[in-house]
Amino acid sequence: MSTFLHGANLRANGIRQHYLRYGGRGRPVVIVPGITSPAVTWGFVAERFGRHFDTYVLDVRGRGLSAASDALDYGLDALAADANAFAEALGLEGYALVGHSMGARVGIRAARQQPRGLERLVLIDPPVSGPGRRAYPAKLDWYVDSIRLMRDGAGMEALRPFSPTWTDDQLRLRAEWLHTCDERAIVTTYEGFHQDDIHADLPRIKVPTLLIAAGRGDVIRPQDLAELRELLPAMQITTVAGAGHMIPWDDEAGFYKAFGDFLGTPIVD
């Protein structure tokens, strides 16, 4: 039986934010997806989370059904403010913020503000690029070219060269929704991967934090993990050995297992 409850919109931080809700019981969990991942593409994860938690998946501004415009600020500070305002607007208490890739960087910046009600932070393979640091391994053209193809109406087969290990169902869903990613939002986020210093934020995080790293990805290397641990010594770190950057797509069972009981209830059934 599906745990999906509904999709909805609310106004927070001055914009319309769209989200999907699953489960409705237990600890509130807010999932913030990555750079070109509308909320619906994380539905399979939210379905599992919904068995245990009151789960919300955000359409980050400029993606999916949330606000997008030529005048909208797509910088990291704005995205972090959105996440905090979203939780405040819903009156969430004791909630966990779970972010993947870009969403993890949003979580770091959001947690730095020490918002009321935030009790747990999970960072899933966050890009560790920044000023004077190693560049993010994926190229901007990878994102922009695929968005333009989908915006022009190309089918899922046009995406297969971009994600050759994905299943037909995964490609089909991405092909359906990728056109909703505003190109300027994606470019701004990508540039921010290299301009925003999330490392300076880490020592200011006061809530328990879990970092889940991809064992086969090149986003976080062992030396990066060592530095992150120095900056936030209390942070728990676990690695999903067989997964690349898109961890739940590569090893869904390993992804859930990596959480352990960090959120209060194990996700593995």
Q: Is the pLDDT of residue 211 over 90?
A: yes
User: For 260, which DSSP code?
Assistant: T
Q: Please report whether residue 73 resides in a domain.
A: yes
Q: Please report whether residue 59 resides in a domain.
A: yes
Q: Is the pLDDT of residue 161 over 80?
A: yes
Q: Is the pLDDT of residue 217 over 90?
A: no
Helix H or strand E segment including 8 = strand 4-12
pTM: 0.98
The reported pLDDT for the residue numbered 83 is 98
What is the distance between the alpha carbons of residues 50 and 20, in angstroms, rounded to a whole number? Answer: 11
Q: Please report whether residue 121 resides in a domain.
A: yes
The reported pLDDT for the residue numbered 180 is 98
Which residue range is the domain that position 115 belongs to? 4-133+193-258
Residue 98's closest CA among 255, 234, 240, 230? 255
What is the distance between the alpha carbons of residues 245 and 143, in angstroms, rounded to a whole number? Answer: 15
Q: Please report whether residue 16 resides in a domain.
A: yes
User: Where residue 64 falls among pLDDT bands split at 50, 70, 90?
Assistant: very high
Q: Please report whether residue 148 resides in a domain.
A: no
What is the distance between the alpha carbons of residues 181 and 62, in angstroms, rounded to a whole number? Answer: 6
Q: Is the pLDDT of residue 269 over 80?
A: no
Q: What is the DSSP string of 102-140?
A: HHHHHHHHHHHT--TTEEEEEEES-----TTSPPPSS-H
User: 89 and 10 in contact (C-beta within 8 Å)?
Assistant: yes
Q: Please report whether residue 182 resides in a domain.
A: no
Q: Please report whether residue 9 resides in a domain.
A: yes
Q: Please report whether residue 177 resides in a domain.
A: no
Q: Is the pLDDT of residue 268 over 90?
A: no
**Which CATH number do you get for residue 111?**
3.40.50.1820
What is the distance between the alpha carbons of residues 28 and 113, in angstroms, rounded to a whole number? Answer: 19
% of the chain with per-residue pLDDT over 70: 100
Give the total number of structural domains in the chain: 1
